[in-house]
């Protein structure tokens, strides 16, 4: 289910990841899976400075993933209609775009 | 079927026959797939099975007959366990652990066990099918992904929150305390509530405030009480006098 070779995603490019969701809603599955995937040991070990925070609310709000990159850019993903795979792929492509040298060196 | 030289046909020593058959036939049983003879190949191609064409794609319409799957023995055991858990324990909290190592889990389990909170793991499917039958069916949407149950007989919410604060990967989702489903905000406000004895004392003091005031008045010197009553009468009479004058005019 998880995208392959995700270990090299969080290299230096990401500063914070905030996941906000309301667990009693029904459209929360993909956001929770995204949170589980992003806070796994492998991914966290690539960048120890990156903070992964989760906020659990009860106000029927939409599930949102808020990612702040090191250069100040923000990526906001609204997980109500997305699958976790799509979110992970989008996140990975952006990270690779930000840090292509590191990724190429890691591949080689 | 190589030609074998046996002593019967060798008449003299050192004599080799003039004709030796070199050709040999091929084996029937081979390690690779032997190619068919051309006639057999043609026959196989002509008589190949052609399945009937499906007008409706296979996944388009759902099947009308639905088979109800019976619970396996393990599921029944787990459900019995769950029933016991819900009967015995006043507090059942649901936490999502996105990723915590075995050491972190062990430390957390230790910290919680000191306060009487037990950490339980149940498969989500079993949990959901069990909850649908009970009164706690609204808890069912909480059980998605990697979830852990914190279960305790006494609702020790403050200690649980303290322990969870130290491990960042565990996300508290909700809890069922005293048969009431609470969200995270509810849990936090529950932890801030004073104990039952304090609340009872406050209630009792609020109800008996008036009677206690009267009692304190009576305990003081009777002159004080008579002075208060005279003042009250004086206030009453100009009020009633003024009301009668207004009614007359």
Interface test with B, best of A2, A10, A20, A23 (most B CBs within 10 A): A23
Q: What is the DSSP string of chain B?
A: ------TTT--STT---S------PPPSS-SSPPPPPHHHHHHHHHT---PPPPSS-TTSS--S--PPPPPPHHHHHHHHHHHHHHHH-SEEEEEEES---HHHHHHHHHHHHHTTEEEE---HHHHHHHHHHSS-GGGGGG--SSEEEEEESS--HHHHHHHHHH-TTEEEEEEEETTEEE-HHHHHHHHHSPPHHHHHHHHHHHHTHHHHHHHHHHHS-HHHHHHHHHHHHHHHHHHHHHHHHHHH-
Report how far residue B144's alpha carbon sits from residue B140's, in angstroms, rounded to the nearest whole number: 9
Query: Tell me, what's the pLDDT at B2?
Result: 47
A100 three-state secondary structure: helix
pLDDT, tens digit, 9 for 90 and up, residues B28-79: 899 999 999 999 999 999 999 999 988 888 788 887 777 788 888 999 999 9
Which is it for strands B180-182 and A51-56: parallel, antiparallel or unpaired?
A: unpaired
Half-sphere exposure of B247 (CA within 13 A, CB side): 6
- Residue B185 in contact with partner chain A when CB distance is under 8 A: yes
Contact B183 A58 (CB under 8 A): yes
Report the interhelical angle of A84-98 vs A29-38 (nearest 10°): 40
pLDDT at position B50 is 94
Contacts of B183 in chain A (CB under 8 A): 23-24, 56, 58
Which pLDDT score is estimated for B24?
Answer: 79
Residue B206 C-alpha, separation from nearest chain A C-alpha, in angstroms: 34
For residue A45, the chain B residue with the least C-alpha distance is B99
Q: Which residues of chain A lie closer than 8 angstroms to B184, CB-CB? A: 56-58
pLDDT at A39: 84
The more confident residue out of B189 and B99 is: B189
Q: Which one of A6, A22, A32, A57 would you mutate to disrupt binding with B, by most B Cβ within 10 Å of its Cβ?
A: A32
Q: Do B98 and A38 touch (CB under 8 A)?
A: yes
> By the CB < 8 Å criterion, does B236 face chain A?
no
Predicted confidence (pLDDT) at residue B1 exceeds the cutoff of 60: no
Task: Kindly tell me the sign of the dihedral angle through the C-alpha atoms of B124, B126, B129, B135.
Answer: negative
Per-residue pLDDT, averaged over A78-100, amounts to: 84
Tell me the domains of chain A and their CATH numbers.
Answer: 6-107 (3.40.30.10)
The verdict on B155 touching A (C-beta cutoff 8 Å) is no
The values of phi and psi at residue B63, to 5°, are -70, 145
The whole-number pLDDT of residue B171 equals 85
**Could you say which of B138, B146, B183 has the minimum Cβ distance to residue A36?**
B146
For residue B98, the chain A residues in CB contact (below 8 A) are 35-36, 38-40, 52, 54
Separation in Å, CA A71 to CA A66, A74, A101, A108, B230 = 15, 9, 16, 25, 81
Chain A residues within 8 angstroms (CB to CB) of chain B? 23-26, 28-29, 32-33, 35-36, 38-41, 44, 52-54, 56-58
Give contacts of A57 with chain B, Cβ < 8 Å: 184-185
How many Å apart are CA A53 and CA A35, to the nearest integer? Answer: 9
Set of chain B residues whose Cβ sits within 8 Å of the Cβ of A38? 98
- pLDDT, residue B246, reads 56
Decide if B184 contacts B173 (C-beta within 8 A): yes
Q: What is the pLDDT of residues B137-187, one digit of tens each?
A: 888 888 888 889 998 888 888 888 888 888 878 888 888 888 888 888 888
Supply the ipTM of this predicted assembly.
0.78
Instruction: Look up residue B194 and give its two tokens.
Output: 């004073």
| Chain A touched by B167 (CB under 8 Å) | no
pTM: 0.65
* Interface size between A and B, measured as CB pairs under 8 A: 55
Q: What's the pLDDT at B44?
A: 96
Q: Give the pLDDT confidence of A30-64 residue by residue, as tens digits.
A: 888 888 888 888 888 888 888 888 888 888 778 88
Task: Name which of A29, A36, A41 is nearest B101 (Cβ-Cβ).
Answer: A41
Interchain proximity B98–A35, CB inside 8 Å? yes
pLDDT at B41: 97
What is the phi/psi pair of residue B120, to 5°?
-125, 145
pLDDT confidence bin for A4, thresholds 50/70/90:
very low
Q: Which residues of B touch A44 (CB under 8 A)?
A: 99
Average pLDDT, chain B: 84
Question: Is B184's CB within 8 Å of A58's CB?
Answer: yes
> Hey, is the C-beta of B16 within 8 angstroms of any chain A C-beta?
no
How large a percentage of chain B has pLDDT more than 70? 92
């Amino acid at each position: 289910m998880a995208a392959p070779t995700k270990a090299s995603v969080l290299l230096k490019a990401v500063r914070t990841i905030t996941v906000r969701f309301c667990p009693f809603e029904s459209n929360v599955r993909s956001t929770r899976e995204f949170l589980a995937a992003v806070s796994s040991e492998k991914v966290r070990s690539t960048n120890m400075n990156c903070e992964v925070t989760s906020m659990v609310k009860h106000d029927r709000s939409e599930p949102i993933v808020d990612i702040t990159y090191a250069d100040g850019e923000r990526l906001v993903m609204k997980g109500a209609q997305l699958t976790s795979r799509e979110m992970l792929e989008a996140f990975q492509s952006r990270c690779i775009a930000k840090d292509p040298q590191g990724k190429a060196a890691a591949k080689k | 079927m190589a030609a074998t030289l046996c002593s019967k046909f060798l008449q003299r020593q050192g004599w080799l026959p003039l004709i030796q058959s070199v050709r040999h036939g091929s084996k029937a049983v081979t390690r690779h797939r032997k190619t068919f003879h051309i006639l057999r190949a043609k026959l196989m191609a002509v008589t190949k099975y052609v399945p009937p064409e499906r007008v409706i794609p296979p996944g388009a319409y759902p099947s009308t007959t639905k088979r109800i799957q019976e619970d396996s023995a393990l599921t029944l055991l787990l459900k019995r366990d769950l029933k016991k858990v819900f009967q015995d324990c006043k507090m059942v909290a649901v936490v999502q652990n996105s990723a915590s190592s075995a050491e972190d889990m062990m430390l957390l389990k230790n910290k919680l066990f000191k306060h009487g909170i037990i950490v339980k793991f149940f498969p989500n499917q079993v949990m959901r099918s069990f909850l649908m039958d009970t009164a706690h069916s609204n808890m069912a949407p909480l059980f998605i992904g990697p979830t852990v149950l914190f279960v305790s007989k006494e609702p020790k919410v403050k200690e649980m929150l303290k322990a969870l604060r130290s491990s960042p990967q565990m996300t508290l989702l909700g809890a069922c305390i005293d048969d009431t489903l609470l969200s995270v905000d509810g849990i936090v406000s529950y932890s801030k509530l004073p104990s039952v004895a304090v609340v009872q004392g406050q209630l009792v003091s609020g109800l008996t405030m008036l009677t206690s005031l009267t009692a304190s008045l009576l305990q003081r010197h009777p002159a004080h009480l008579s002075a208060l009553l005279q003042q009250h009468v004086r206030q009453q009479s100009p009020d009633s006098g003024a009301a009668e004058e207004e009614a007359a005019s």
